[in-house]
Amino acid sequence: MNIIEVKNLVKSFGEFKAVKGINFNVKKGEVFGFLGPNGAGKTTTINMLTGLAAPTSGEITIAGYDGIKHIKKVQRIIGIVPDESNLYDDMSGFDNLVFCASLYGIKKGIREKRAKELLKQFSLDNAGKRTFKAYSKGMKRKLTIAAGIIHNPEILFLDEPTTGIDVESARQIRKMIKNLNDNGTTIFLTTHYIEEAERLCHRIGFIVEGKIIKLSNVHDLLIEARQENIVEFDTDSNGSNLEKLVISNFPGITVKSVTDHSIRISSRNRIEIMPFMKLFDNNGIKINEAKVIRPSLEEVFIKITGIEIDKLHKEKEGKKK
């Protein structure tokens, strides 16, 4: 059963089209991920689904409600965790949670109990009395997530939940997302971390420049990826040199990428490493390491989007600064 249905959704800012007519469904109980580089239109889409932005055209249905006309009904059953915190700096962690709960009409006794539970669950019980502005980045994100689920929403929207925070908090958050989903919450998340999408999501939509260019379940994507065999050689020679050698000696092999000292090759068939070792050796090139790369979603992503992962992350960090 589809809990979210999106048809021909468009969002223009003046002349500029940020979202260019996307179509997708989210199934009840799944973790659905939007994966794409900075500026792809992920946040804009979440804003339209949650009622913070008005679509230019298109249709949204959430839990049977018209997501544009009856957004206030939709908002009762959804939780939203934005990419940057929107809690109150001068209020304590506990007061923030209690206030958020009251917006959903939760009675005093219940909301205070729930706030305490959540603080504990996110290992923030010692920070409950401190003001929000004194929290670290990771703590802030965790409290923002707690605030997003205080009313036990059926659907939780998470915009880049682990971007820019410490490893331990990120790990806790991923575990939390998994637990929530195991207990029946449908999750819609955006990320630019491929590994995160691979680990958490059942299905993924690749979004680039406002368009979904591929939508598939992660299992199938991985099978697709694993049809490719990849080997990487790390040497004391430079990559373009290696590339020339490989191309002229192994016509059936594809060169995927090179750096100033390594080369990554791929083939539909199993790659025998020995012939390459021999070839490099004969040309006086020292091999530091040869390794078989287990294809991940990263390979699929690069193939589909033509975007290098390094670039994806650099762009993002560039933006944060």
Ligand X SMILES: Nc1ncnc2c1ncn2[C@@H]1O[C@H](COP(=O)(O)OP(=O)(O)O)[C@@H](O)[C@H]1O
Q: How far apart are CA 191 and CA 12, in angstroms?
A: 22
Largest CA distance in the chain: 77
Residue span 57-76 as binding mask against another protein, x where in contact by CB under 8 A, dash where not:
---------------xx-xx
Smallest separation (angstroms) from another protein to the CB of 18: 11
- Edge-to-edge strand list for the sheet holding 262-267: 254-258, 262-267, 229-235, 287-293
Q: How far apart (Å, rounded) are the C-alpha atoms in residues 294 and 275?
A: 20
Q: Which is closer to another protein, CB of 35 or CB of 87? A: 87
Which lies closer to Mg ion via its Cβ, residue 42 or residue 203?
A: 42
Cα R_g (the chain), whole angstroms: 23
The least CB distance from residue 76 to ligand X, in Å, is: 25
Q: Closest by alpha carbon to 177, among 207, 140, 205, 146?
A: 146
Q: What mask, x for binding another protein by CB under 8 A, covers residues 193 to 222?
A: ------------------------------
CA distance 206 to 76: 28
Binding to another protein by residue 89, rule CB under 8 A? yes
104's contact among ligand X, Mg ion, another protein, none, with CB below 5 to 8 A by partner kind, is another protein
How many angstroms separate the CA atoms of 154 and 74, rounded?
A: 10
| C-alpha 316: how far from chain center | 13
Supply 115's token pair.
């706030």
Residue ranges in 158-187 that form contacts with another protein under rule CB under 8 A? none
Q: Is residue 44 a contact residue for ligand X (CB under 6 A)?
A: yes
Helix (H, G, I), strand (E, B) or coil at 67: coil
CB 229 within 8 A of CB 292: yes
Q: Which of 34, 43, 188, 198 binds Mg ion (CB under 5 A)?
A: 43
> Between 36 and 295, whose beta carbon lies closer to ligand X?
36
Amino acid at 288: N
For residue 85, state whether it binds Mg ion (rule: CB under 5 A). no
Centre a 10 Å sphere on the Cβ of residue 143 and count the other Cβ atoms it contains.
25
Residue placing its CB nearer to Mg ion in the complex, 40 or 119 = 40
Q: How many residues at the interface with another protein, by CB under 8 A?
A: 29
- Options 13-21, 123-131, 145-153, 267-275: segment touching ligand X (CB under 6 A): 13-21
Q: Is 41 one of the binding residues for ligand X (CB under 6 A)? A: yes
Q: How far is the CB of 49 from ligand X (least distance, A)?
A: 12
Among positions 23-42, residues that touch Mg ion (CB under 5 A) are: 42
Residue 83 CB neighbours (<10 A): 17
3-state secondary structure (DSSP) of residue 165: coil
Nearer to another protein, 185 or 266 (CB): 185
Q: Applying CB under 8 A, which residues contact another protein?
A: 13, 50-54, 72-73, 75-76, 80, 82, 84-91, 99-100, 102-107, 147
Q: Applying CB under 6 A, which residues contact ligand X?
A: 13, 16, 18, 36, 38-44
